[in-house]
Every structure is written in C-alpha cells, then in structure tokens.
C-alpha cells in the first residue's frame, strides 16, 4: 500500500473543551437534497464522531466504519445518542459506501469541501497518492456541540489506526462494557434447522450475519470451514459452535 501519511497543513491539536466548527453538510437523502447543520446534528445530544481518510479505502472499509456500526448499540447503551462518520467525500460516494457495507447504525456526514475537517485542524495533504486534501484519522465525543474527548491517531508514517476505533471509545465510556459477539450463520433457505438456529439467536437479541448456500456461497464454503457440508453452521467470535443443537447447548 502507498504511504497515505503526507505533509500536513495544520498541527494536530487536541481540541477538548472547544466547540465544533459551525458548518452545513449538503446531503442527498431519500433522493432529495438536504442541508444538515452542525446545530441540528449536535445540539442537546451526546455524539460519537469518527473521521477517516476516505470512503472505500482499506482500513476504513474493513475496520473503522464496520466496527462503529456494529458497536453503535453498545455506545448508545452507554450514553451516546448518535454516531456520525465524517469523511472528505461527496454525499453520493458516502451513500454508495454505506450501501456497500450495509451500514445500519451510523449517520454519514459528507464533508466534500473539507470545511468541517479544516475547522477541526485535521485537514491533511494526500496529493502524492491522488487523494488531494483529506481528513486525518481521529474520533471524538461531542456533548451539546462541545468536544468532551478526542482520540487522535499518532503522527507517524503509514496509516496509524490504534486509538480512534470503536472499541477504544466504548471502553472510555464504560471500562466494564461488553462488546457484542460477532456471529455468522451459514444456512440454506429450505433448512428447518437453520430456521430454528436463527430463531434462537433472535430470541436472545443476538445480531448475526447470514451466509446463504446457493446465494452467497456453495457447500464448498462449509466443507472448507468445518470439514462437512451440513447446515446450519454457526461461528461466534472466531469459534466454530456447530449446528442448531450445538448452538442450543452453547446458549445455555
């Protein structure tokens, strides 16, 4: 990967205690144009904001945005009202990215002109890799428009990603908070045991992703992962649980 850490226009400063920049985000929402102001987005709310270099880029797509989307309910259970993703991209790119990743819990704020990012002092020059001006990676907690806490990535070569992640923010809010488990079920549309397994997970309020044989994959997937072709196959936090009866035992 090319080095995305280029010469900065501003020195990265912790702005804890200061007000956020007052800007308007032009947003394409439900096929119409809207203007979202920072006043309406932040007033009388406690908001988790994370900002990143660009939509569809590797770390942003594989880790930063998806994990915030997954942990948004846990963040909200610990005092956060809304979760916002900021990037120096236009609204069409941000919407397409959210659709591609099936984002459900994060509101996308397109800072296409870089006004919010510049106001935060986080605008950086990535022209050498064709990006132009983009945001440095950081996150923050904003209460009623005032920055309560910032997590700014270290200024070093590469694309550092160690403190602006969702897990760090959750632990800051509540050191005892438990992140939801990552669950995948490999299923088949006509399988009654698959239906039973999903019902068990739903009854426990456990979110999961489903890989459907014949649609998303073939039985080669289950053979490669488990050595067998039967479904359902459930995986939780990297551990192979097994079929529906194994899941029932695990949930006890």
Query: Catalytic residues, which ones?
Result: 60
Of 154, 151, 162, nearest in space to 14 by CA: 151
Partners of 239 in the beta sheet? Answer: 236
Structure-block tokens of residue 25: 């985000």
Which residue, chain included where needed, has tokens 């941000």?
94
Total residues belonging to the chain: 252
Q: What are phi and psi of 27, to 5 degrees?
A: -130, 135
Give the closest residue to 229 by CA, choosing from 239, 214, 218, 219: 219
Q: What is the bridge-based pairing of β-strands 233-236 and 209-212?
A: unpaired
The most distant pair of C-alpha atoms in the chain lies apart, rounded to whole Å, by 59
Cα distance between residue 19 and residue 146, in whole Å: 4
Beta strands in the chain (DSSP E): 24-29, 32-37, 46-52, 82-87, 107-110, 123-125, 133-135, 138-143, 146-152, 183-187, 209-212, 233-236, 239-242
């Amino acid at each position: 990967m090319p080095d995305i850490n280029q010469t900065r226009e501003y020195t990265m400063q912790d702005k804890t205690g200061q007000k956020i920049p007052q800007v308007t985000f032009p947003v394409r929402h439900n096929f119409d144009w809207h203007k979202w102001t920072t006043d309406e987005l932040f007033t009388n709310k406690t908001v988790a904001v994370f900002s990143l270099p660009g939509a569809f880029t590797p770390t942003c797509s594989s880790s930063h945005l998806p994990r915030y989307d997954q942990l948004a309910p846990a963040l909200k259970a610990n005092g956060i009202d809304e979760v916002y993703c900021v990037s120096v991209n236009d609204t069409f790119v941000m919407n397409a990215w959210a659709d591609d990743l099936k984002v459900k819990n994060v509101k996308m704020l397109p800072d296409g002109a870089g006004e919010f990012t510049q106001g935060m002092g986080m605008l950086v020059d990535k022209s050498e890799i064709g990006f132009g001006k983009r945001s440095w990676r950081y996150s923050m907690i904003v209460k009623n428009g005032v920055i309560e806490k910032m997590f700014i990535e270290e200024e070093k070569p590469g694309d550092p990603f160690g403190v602006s992640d969702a897990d760090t923010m959750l632990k800051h809010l509540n050191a005892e908070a438990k992140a939801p488990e990552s669950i995948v079920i490999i299923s088949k549309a006509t399988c009654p045991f698959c239906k039973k397994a999903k019902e068990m997970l739903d009854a426990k309020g456990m979110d999961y992703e489903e890989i459907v044989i014949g649609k998303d994959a073939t039985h080669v997937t289950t053979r490669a992962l488990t050595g067998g072709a039967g479904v359902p196959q459930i995986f939780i936090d990297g551990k192979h649980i097994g079929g529906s009866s194994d899941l029932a035992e695990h949930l006890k």
